[in-house]
Every structure is written in structure tokens, then in C-alpha cells.
Amino acid sequence: MNIKLTQKEIGQRIAELRKTKGFSQEDLAKSVKISRPSLAQIELGNRSVDIMELQNLSIVLGFSLDEFMSKDFKISQDVEGKAETQNPKVNERISIPSLQVNKFKNVLLYILERCAGKPNVGETVLYKLLYFSDYNYYELYEEHLTGAKYRKLPFGPVPQKLDTIINQMIDTGQLQRVKTEYHGFPQTRYLPLIKANLTELKASEKEIIDRVIEQMSDWSAAAISNYSHKDMPWLASKEGEEINYELAFYRDAPYSVRNYGNEIEEQ
């Protein structure tokens, strides 16, 4: 018996089928002639799927529309034994960031060159400027900027291994740590002692960092923390766990740096 499924339920079923069949989002999107961001929004439940798109998905993923829309639809039963023959060579894309230490140091130095003189830019604001630079770049270009891994902590996303990198930079005379107060609260600040090597940054990377700085570098620690707490990668992650870069594709306005809603689908 068919039931009326919500957009979210339809998206979840499509995502599960896609993963079981071994399709990446990019491969499935190409097969059904829609854009990858559109497919990402469908899977998240933020975009409806029309009947023609659903028919195309049923052909590529090998499911019956009647069974798909039924209450008792089981992914494992429906696709058992078919994944290998349908798409044997396509693997699910997994985003595994690899920290580029030298790139990370130069991004940090560049942000501090532009922002260290602002009284609001202590550790909390600095961490968020790094986070939004990394995740905005990944969402737009589907490549890692620094490859830093971020963890969900109570005051917002925090890059892992940052303390180790900063201590190295202090020891080698690249940074200075300053303890001060801001509006009556203790604040840790960092001052750059050398200039960033801009040859380490591509024009597209510098552009994304500049946009983040222009948008957020004047915000208070509380304001930028609250803003980060409403970003989809943060919302969809569990406390204390690593924040998956792939979640950047599920952002809505004003966080998204790609216009998913109006993006032209592939023909």
C-alpha cells in the first residue's frame, strides 16, 4: 500500500539506495541529468523531486516506484545482489582531508596580517575565520583549502592540531601569543611576526579567505560563535566529533556560497 512520503523521507531513501549501489553523488547526478548540488538538496529533503526525475532515478538505481513509495520499503531487500552488476566500478566518494601544514600556516598568517590589529580578533574569532575559509572553499570548489580537520566543541568548530602548529610557529619566531582583556574578559591573541608567503595561495583560495574576512572579521566572539552554530556542518555533527566537509553541500542561505536553488541543471 502506497503512502504519502515527505520530501525528507524520499531524500533519505534515495541517499541510502545511492550509497548501497555504490554511486557517488556526482555520478548519480550525471546519470539522471541533474546537477550534483540539486541531488544533494533532494537527499537532504530541501528540494522536491518531480515524477520524471523519480522515474530516471528508479531506472538508474533499479527500484520499483510502487515499492519505493510503500511503507514497508526495505533498502536491503530491494537492492540485494544488484549492486555489483549495476555499477561495479563506481565507488562512493569519501572526503578525507589531509592537513597541509605549510598551507595552513600561511593561511593563518594571512588572516592575522589582515585582522590581528582588530581588538575583537582573539582565539574564538580566529578559529571561526579559519573554519569558514576552509568549508566555504570546499563547498565552492570541492577541494580542500588547508585540509585541516575541525571538531564540534561547545563554543564552535575548532581546528585539530592547532595548538601544536601555533607552538611551532611561536618557537620559530613566526607568531607571538599575547594575553589580554577585551570587554572585561580574558582574551588570547596572536600577532604575526612574519608575512604570509602568498605564493602558497592560489587566487581562488585568497579570494575565499578575503570574503570571509570582509564578512566576519568585525564580529564579536559571541556573534561569530552563534553564527557558526547554525551552519549545517555544525548542526549535523555530534558533540566532540569531527565535522565532515561533505556537509557543506547541504547548506542553506545565508551560509551557502553556491546558489543551489537556482543553479542550472546539466542537460
- Mean predicted confidence (pLDDT) in 82-92: 40
User: Given phi > 0 = left and psi -120 to 50 = alpha, else beta, which region is 161?
Assistant: left
Q: Is residue 256 part of a domain?
A: no
Give the mean model confidence (pLDDT) for residues 186-215.
96
Query: Do 127 and 239 belong together in one domain?
Result: yes
Task: Tell me what the mean pLDDT of segment 200-219 comes to.
Answer: 97
8 Å CB contact between 86 and 20: no
Do 105 and 67 belong together in one domain? no
Structural domain total, the chain: 2
The mean predicted confidence, pLDDT, of the chain is 86
Query: In degrees rounded to 5, what are phi and psi of residue 2?
Result: -75, 150
247 by Cβ neighbours in 10 Å (0-12 / 13-18 / 19+) ranks as buried
Collapse the DSSP code of 178 into the 3-class scheme (helix H, G, I; strand E, B; otherwise coil) and give the result. strand
Which cell numbers in the block locate residue 183? 570587554
pLDDT of residue 47: 87
Decide if 122 contacts 221 (C-beta within 8 A).
Answer: yes
- Is residue 124 domain-resident? yes
Task: Report yes or no on 95 lying in a domain.
Answer: no
Grid coordinates standing for 213?
A: 574576512
Could you tell me if 237 and 169 lie in one domain?
A: yes
Q: Which domain holds residue 131?
A: 101-250
Residues 57 and 105 in one domain: no
pTM of the model: 0.69
- Does residue 158 share a domain with residue 74? no
Banded pLDDT at 87 (limits 50, 70, 90): very low
Phi, psi of 152 (to 5 degrees): -80, 110
Position 158 in a domain: yes
194-202 long-range contacts, Cβ below 8 Å, gap at least 24?
Answer: 194/109, 195/109, 195/113, 196/106, 196/107, 196/109, 196/110, 196/113, 197/106, 198/106, 198/110, 200/102, 200/103, 200/106, 201/103, 201/106, 201/107, 201/110
pLDDT mean over 112-132 = 96
Q: Are 160 and 42 found together in one domain?
A: no
Quick: pLDDT tens for 38-67: 888 898 888 888 888 888 898 888 888 888
| Residue pair 200/103 in contact by the 8 Å Cβ criterion | yes
Q: Answer yes or no: is 267 within a domain.
A: no
CA distances from 140 to 75, 81, 129, 164, 254 (A): 32, 36, 16, 29, 14
Q: How far apart are CA 101 and CA 87, in angstroms?
A: 37
**Do 187 and 214 lie in a common domain?**
yes
Measured between its terminal Cα atoms, the distance across the chain in Å is 35
Distances, alpha carbon 156 to alpha carbons 96, 114, 255, in Å: 21, 22, 15
